[in-house]
């Protein structure tokens, strides 16, 4: 394969403008990837992909091209290095460097995490349980009583991509099993530690799947975990007995349907392991006794296309959240001994205002995480009286999530919440009365003054009349004459809700007059299953038109103008970025696409890639249907790049990313280079050490965030160099 080439006549003027945009004087030109025709034909449709060769990971010319892109990024952004360094210093100064989480009880111990100054990762510890009183829980461990369960800094050993994949303590409290990854992929190594001695256990299991904790059986000698197939789809549940070689582990369950992926979790009671096989639209759950290390799984209900259930055991019953006859879910109950479908009885009927998301069971109370008219929270349910209490954040406009409360006899459910202006807060709700008490609120950053900011929610009108919420964190004096800057985030996929959160880093933008907004577009889960289904498959285009409607609404209302609005999206949000830029690039002064899913058609045509088959229910199977093929081809960002002026664009990729392969952003940028008639060539930066999540440490991530913010500030003329580009 020849070297990436440059056409001198094409890029001389672009190079000059790009370097001028960054206030430099170099005459260097941006890389231009070589073209190698790759004809393709599907459903009698033929086309050519000139940059298909960038998928050849082992080809040294691929890495050479990406390194050239990194060098070009460095040259263009070099004049902003001082700004970048100031941003890093500001964000670091806002970190609460010394902190301790609220301990939670499991057995005779309480577990917590400590953050230490100068350390990227937390240290997971425990101390003896004495009381659930907040003053006792939050008191430092007495001398000699603290046990370090896992020092993640020690385990990371400086690796930027280090990721903790979840851990669990054996029922007797002696052994700790956890999973970790060092290269940014979704393959984790399972390790064990003897907590009384601190010694590593000799058992090690390679290439376990993703970031869910292993599960212990009641005998303290047996562990359950998942393995992936050749596409990294979790498809096997394995049983490991301590002391055995991993090659001898038992196969407990195997999922052969490539649309489905497996996950495992214990019930809060510790009586059962739940094995769930799930596609985007359908689930099937198997139960296995954790009291019998030789137990075989039994299915609750054989899968039925389009039906989804989740289960929790409470006393003599199973409680079941199901979408059968209820688009947003309803609650059923069945006998523990024989939960056949004919014996299910309804406990809570469906309510279109309420979307039920998950279920957990304490000894005598159920907790149902839910969204009520778009507001996140949870219900406390007395299953005998069938009475509920709704618990949510005391502050409007944020997220709420139940926190780890693994002790089944606990008297309160732990939960957390935050907003744009309220830092992470841990509280608990009394299971009997619903009374809420705050246990700990994370300290505000040094110098934080909330009076300098304001939160607003506005509603944009979509093409079909649907109202799309936009949450904004703004400077208190943000003008309404179109001159105020704004960075708007969008996602809209998989039914995942995008709720406001407290991010101390973003104040480096807001303090410079750049607000931050979240567009809650369809395809997400903000208003339940219907909101999600309105932005997937044949209705996926709603996600993109919703985001554009939000941008136009903000312009019409004077919050911004096209010259003061930047966009950002990551992963599936990067798909949104590419689609809206193809549709109306003039609406934005700049855009950040982080690990963007932009080569949608090629990826969904390749069933050998990770995630592809499991996402047919999200995007469709273009190989199996001409209709689906045409639909995806019509919006796939890479396939719809055309001759037009695109705004400045920063694209970020991870070399080890097995969710959105590095070649998707690389191919997209290569194609944009030859079609963009705008003055600023797109920038591509590939991190060769990380994957989908980027740098993992709280200090390590600052470099990447600072470059993104420097890019936004330059796009909006707030970088200190003078006027707008």
Q: How far apart are the C-alpha atoms of 62 and 64, rounded to whole Å?
A: 5
Pairing of strands 565-570, 485-490: parallel
Contact 233, 614 (CB under 8 A): yes
Contact 368, 379 (CB under 8 A): yes
Q: How far is CA 87 from CA 73, 452, 488, 637, in A?
A: 18, 19, 19, 31
Element (H, E) at 298: strand 298-299
Tokens, residue 294: 């030789």
Q: How far apart are the C-alpha atoms of 485 and 510, rounded to whole Å?
A: 9
Handedness of CA 551, 555, 560, 565 (dihedral sign): positive
Q: How far apart are the C-alpha atoms of 663 and 230, rounded to whole Å?
A: 19
Task: Confirm whether 211 is a catalytic residue.
Answer: no
Closest CA to 86 of 724, 707, 722: 707
Tokens, residue 238: 């394995």
Q: How far apart are the C-alpha atoms of 553 and 68, rounded to whole Å?
A: 39
Tokens, residue 404: 């780890």
CA angle 239–367–341, rounded 5-degree value:
65
Could you tell me which residues are beta bridge partners of residue 686?
A: 653
Q: How far is CA 117 from CA 122, 145, 187, 693, in A?
A: 10, 22, 30, 23
CA angle 226–227–232, rounded 5-degree value:
125
Catalytic option among 163, 571, 636, 696:
571
Closest CA to 633 of 494, 522, 540: 540
Phi-psi region of 298 (alpha: psi -120 to 50; beta: other; left: phi over 0): beta
Task: Confirm whether 542 is a catalytic residue.
Answer: no
Catalytic option among 232, 422, 692, 719:
692
Residue 61 burial (10 A CB sphere; 0-12, 13-18, 19+): middle
Handedness of CA 56, 58, 59, 64 (dihedral sign): positive
Q: How far is CA 283 from CA 309, 317, 619, in A?
A: 6, 21, 18
Could you tell me which residues are beta bridge partners of residue 20?
A: none
Pairing of strands 649-654, 683-687: parallel
Tokens, residue 275: 């094995």
Rg (CA), the chain: 26
DSSP code for 676: B
b/e burial code for range 514-525 (CB count within 10 A of at least 16 → b): bbbbbbbbbbbb
Q: How far apart are the C-alpha atoms of 68 and 33, rounded to whole Å?
A: 10
DSSP one-letter string for 122-168: -EEEEEE-----HHHHTSPPPTTT-EEEEEHHHHHTT-TT-EEEEEE
Catalytic option among 621, 657, 687, 719:
657
Q: How far apart are the C-alpha atoms of 388 and 135, rounded to whole Å?
A: 29
Closest CA to 276 of 251, 304, 308, 249: 308
Task: Confirm whether 99 is a catalytic residue.
Answer: no
Q: How far is residue 688 CA from its own chain's centroid? A: 21
Catalytic machinery residues? 571, 657, 692
């Amino acid at each position: 394969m020849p070297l990436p080439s440059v056409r001198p006549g094409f890029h001389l003027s672009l190079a000059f403008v790009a370097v001028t945009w960054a206030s430099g004087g170099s005459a260097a030109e941006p890389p231009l990837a070589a073209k190698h025709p790759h004809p393709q034909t599907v459903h009698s449709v033929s086309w050519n992909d000139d940059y298909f060769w960038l998928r050849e990971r082992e080809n040294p010319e691929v890495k050479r091209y990406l390194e050239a892109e990194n060098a070009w990024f460095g040259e263009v952004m070099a004049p902003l290095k001082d700004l970048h360094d100031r941003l890093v210093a500001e964000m670091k100064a806002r970190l609460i460097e010394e902190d301790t989480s609220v301990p939670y009880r499991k057995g005779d111990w309480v577990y917590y995490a400590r953050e230490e100054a100068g350390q990227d990762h937390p240290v997971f510890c425990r101390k003896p349980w004495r009381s659930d009183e907040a003053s006792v829980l939050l008191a430092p461990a007495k001398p000699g009583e603290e046990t370090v369960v896992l020092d993640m800094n020690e385990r990371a050993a400086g690796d930027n991509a280090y990721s903790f994949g979840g851990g669990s303590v054996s029922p007797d409290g002696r052994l700790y099993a956890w999973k970790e990854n060092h290269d940014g992929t979704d393959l984790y190594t399972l390790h064990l530690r003897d907590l009384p001695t601190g010694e590593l256990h000799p058992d090690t299991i390679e290439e376990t799947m993703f970031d869910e904790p292993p599960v212990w059986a009641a005998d303290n000698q047996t562990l359950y975990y998942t393995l992936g197939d050749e596409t990294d789809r979790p498809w096997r549940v394995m049983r490991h007995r301590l002391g055995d070689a991993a090659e001898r582990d038992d196969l407990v369950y195997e999922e052969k349907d490539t649309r489905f992926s497996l996950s495992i979790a214990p019930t809060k009671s510790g009586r059962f392991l739940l094995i769930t096989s799930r596609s985007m639209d359908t689930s099937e759950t198997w139960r296995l006794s954790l009291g019998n290390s030789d137990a075989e799984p039994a299915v609750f209900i054989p899968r039925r296309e389009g039906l989804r259930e989740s289960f929790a055991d409470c006393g003599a019953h199973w409680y079941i959240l199901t979408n059968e006859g209820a688009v947003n879910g309803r609650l059923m109950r069945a006998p523990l001994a024989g939960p056949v479908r004919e014996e299910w009885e309804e406990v809570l009927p469906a309510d279109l205002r309420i979307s039920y998301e998950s279920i957990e069971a304490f000894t005598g109370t159920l907790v149902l995480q839910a969204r009520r008219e778009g507001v996140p929270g949870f219900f406390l349910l007395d299953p005998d009286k069938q009475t509920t209490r709704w618990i949510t954040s005391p502050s409007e406009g944020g997220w709420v999530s139940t926190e780890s409360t693994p002790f089944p006899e606990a008297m309160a459910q732990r939960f957390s919440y935050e907003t744009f202006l309220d830092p992470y807060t841990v509280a608990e709700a009394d299971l009997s009365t619903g009374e809420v008490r705050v246990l700990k609120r994370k300290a505000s950053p040094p110098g934080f003054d909330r009076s300098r900011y304001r939160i607003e929610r506005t509603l944009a009108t979509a093409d079909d009349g649907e109202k799309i919420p936009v949450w904004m964190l703004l400077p208190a004096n943000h003008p309404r004459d179109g001159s105020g800057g704004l960075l708007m985030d969008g996602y809209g996929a998989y039914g995942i809700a995008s709720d406001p959160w407290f991010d101390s880093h973003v104040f480096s933008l807001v303090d410079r007059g750049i607000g931050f907004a979240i567009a809650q577009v369809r395809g997400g889960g903000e208003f339940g299953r219907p909101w999600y289904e309105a932005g997937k498959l044949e209705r996926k285009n709603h996600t993109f038109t919703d985001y554009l409607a939000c941008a136009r609404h903000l312009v019409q209302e004077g919050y911004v103008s096209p010259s003061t609005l930047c966009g950002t999206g990551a992963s599936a949000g990067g798909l949104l970025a590419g689609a809206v830029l193809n549709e109306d690039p003039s609406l934005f002064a700049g855009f950040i696409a982080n690990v963007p899913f932009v080569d949608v058609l090629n990826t969904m045509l390749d069933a050998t890639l990770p995630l592809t088959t499991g996402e047919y229910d999200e995007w469709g199977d273009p190989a199996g249907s001409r209709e689906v093929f045409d639909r995806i081809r019509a919006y796939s960002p890479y396939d719809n790049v055309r001759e037009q002026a695109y705004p400045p664009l920063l694209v970020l990729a991870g070399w080890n990313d097995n969710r959105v392969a590095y070649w998707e952003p690389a191919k997209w940028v290569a194609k944009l280079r030859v079609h963009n008639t705008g003055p600023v060539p797109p920038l591509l930066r590939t991190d060769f050490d990380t994957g989908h999540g980027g740098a993992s440490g709280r200090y390590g991530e600052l470099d990447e965030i600072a470059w993104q913010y420097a890019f936004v500030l330059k796009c909006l003329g707030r970088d200190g160099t003078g006027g707008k580009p």
